[in-house]
Amino acid sequence: MSEAKGSNAKRRKRILSGMRPTGRLHLGNLVGALWNWRDLQDAYDCFFMIADYHALMSEYASPAGIADASREVMIDFLSCGLDPEKSVIFRQSDVPEHAELHLILSAYTPISWLERNPTYKEQMEQLKTKDIHNYAFLGYPVLQAADIVLYKADVVPVGEDQLPHLELTREVVRRFNSLVGRNVLVEPQAKLTQSPRLLGTDRRKMSKSYGNQIDLADTPETIRKKVLSMITDPKRIRRNDPGHPEECNVCQYYRTFSPAEHDEVAERCRSAAWGCTDCKARLAEVLVELLAEPRTRRAELEAHPERLTELLADGARRAQAVARETLEEVKSLTGLGPIGA
């Protein structure tokens, strides 16, 4: 497997991105991140991380599921096209340099920067099911900064709503570099990603906490059941009523997952040429087919758990080789390098 090159070697631009292992991944994750990541692998040196330290920040009271969820996320990554031959795919806690750099950068981060973080304020108000009044949650943007700068990532793929997070990383980098007097950390640039917004089966935001998601690991039977339960155009009450496909979530799924069929589906809807049950039954088959190949790859990985263990170990080894180099540079500039060197 190809090795990521050290910081001084001429190299391709690097990308770091990750996902918190708080459950199985779903179609929203596929559309919002995994498809994009899969396509970036040919143009960048990519580091894809299972962010289990980040999961602990909200799941600390019942952390038993984090390890299993990390395994599931790894399987979803691999079965949806992330390729360990092209990218470094690893679990964050297997590279403890993340925790160490987090601690060092926390010394350089004013508390007021964290307190004004809009996501922090929003989550504190909205998340009622978990107590996140902990020290780690306030400081998670510092861990995020450490995640990115450890690999000297030039680019981070983000949606518009995540831009403030990245700006905070950039501020931490600028402050650190300025105080140590060397441009040792790389200030990452945003790569804005446009992905279709996929709602859940009940038309709310797709989320595990609402139970309205279609998981990548769902069986064909479960997919059919979930799709048949999807809420459609509320104005189409009887079979003969003309529909309004632009207002129907099912039609949006066609636009995303079977664009070639979209216009015909919309026309059949408007002219009441078919009913919602027929329309959803066809969509279910589209999704069953879409997830057929990932399902096969998933089954292969589940049949060979030792392969998964090897891939995780190899990803951690390759990530750590890069992370260690950055951390040593940082330590040498912050009074934490070898004594007498």
The residue ranges that bind ligand SF4 (CB under 6 A) are 232-233, 236, 243, 245, 248, 250-251, 265, 269, 276, 279-280
Q: Which is nearer to ligand SF4, 198 or 248 (CB)?
A: 248
Of residues 242 and 305, the one with the C-beta less far from ligand SF4: 242
- Least Å distance, CB 262 to ligand SF4, is 10
* 236 and 49 Cβ atoms separated by less than 8 Å: no
Output the CA angle 7-313-82, nearest 5 degrees: 75
- Supply the minimum distance, in Å, between the C-beta of residue 289 and ligand SF4: 18
CB of 233 to ligand SF4, least distance (A): 4
| Token couple for 313 | 């170990």
Instruction: Give Dmax over CA atoms of the chain in angstroms.
Output: 84
For ligand SF4, give the closer residue by CB, 70 or 232: 232
Place of tokens 């009523």: 241
* Spatial separation of the C-alpha atoms in residues 162 and 190, rounded to whole Å: 9
Rounded-to-integer distance, Cα 271 and Cα 180, Å:
68
Residue 54 burial by Cβ neighbours in a 10 Å radius (0-12, 13-18, 19+): buried
Of 14 and 236, nearer to ligand SF4 (C-beta) is 236
Nearest approach, Cβ of 253 to ligand SF4 (angstroms)? 9
Nearer to ligand SF4 by C-beta: 131 or 278?
A: 278
Using DSSP's 3-state secondary structure scheme, residue 3 falls into coil
Nearer to ligand SF4, 45 or 233 (CB): 233
SS3 call for 203: coil
| In the complex, minimum distance from the CB of residue 244 to ligand SF4, in angstroms, rounded to a whole number | 7
Type and span of the H or E element at 227: helix 220-228
Q: For residue 264, count other CB atoms closer than 10 A to its CB.
A: 11
- Round to whole Å and give the CA distance between 309 and 304: 9
Contacts of 256 (CB under 8 A, 6+ apart): 31, 196, 198
CB of 198 to ligand SF4, least distance (A): 15
Question: CB-wise, 237 or 303, nearer to ligand SF4?
Answer: 237
Q: How far is the CB of 204 from ligand SF4 (least distance, A)?
A: 17
